[in-house]
Amino acid sequence: MANVILESARGIQPVPIEDELLRNRVIFLAGEVDRGSCAELITKLMYLDAQDPNKEITLYINSMGGSVQDGLAVYDLMKLIGSPIRTVCVGTCASMGAIIFLGGAKREMMEHGMVMVHDPSFSHLDIGGKKSHEIQSQLDDLNRCRESLALIISERTGKSLKEVYKVTAQDSYFNAHDAVEFGLATGIKEDRI
């Protein structure tokens, strides 16, 4: 990890750049949405909210998605804490990365950013040897998950569930302008970081 050099009462010290950004209430989700990345994100969000529940947190996201349950844990926490959260799409916010992006009160896109939404799918389902009621149970779980995610997208974009289901039936990519038009994003980032 890169360091920045800071001068303090203790003299000149190298400080991890991530620590300096955290001090300025800037955090990142880069890579897969999984238990580890979400635990780290939740820890940082809780820490920053405890420091000042009225001051904005900026979350930069570049993620192709991952675990629905881990991502929803982050999304739920984002809705519960007092600090307003601004999410910024840097690169691609796809699948659960897009759902976390939608958790921001302000949702900004970099000019060349992309958001991708779709229905959830079985990641590594092997139905060999399973009985029909076991397969049906897993399908029911998947459909409940689909409905939960569609409700989030509908609530955050203002689109009807019918419109959301039409878009999420396949991988739907939105560039910055299309994301703003659809309601996934609230604006395109034009001011300095």
Q: Annotated active-site positions, please? A: 95, 118
What is the rounded distance in angstroms from the CA atom of residue 41 to the CA atom of residue 58? 12
> CA 144 to CA 12: how far, in whole Å?
55
Q: Rounded to an integer, what distance in angstroms lies between the CA atom of residue 59 and that of residue 38? A: 13
Q: How many helices (H) and strands (E) does the chain have?
A: 7, 9
How far, in Å, CA of 100 to CA of 57, rounded? 14
**How far from 102 is each of 65, 86, 177, CA to CA, in Å?**
13, 10, 16
Cβ proximity of 109 and 92 under 8 Å = no
Beta bridge partners of residue 14, listed in sequence order: 5
Q: Is 9 left (phi over 0), alpha (psi -120 to 50) or beta?
A: alpha
Residue 154's CB is within 10 A of a number of other CB atoms, namely 17
Residue holding tokens 């750049």?
A: 17
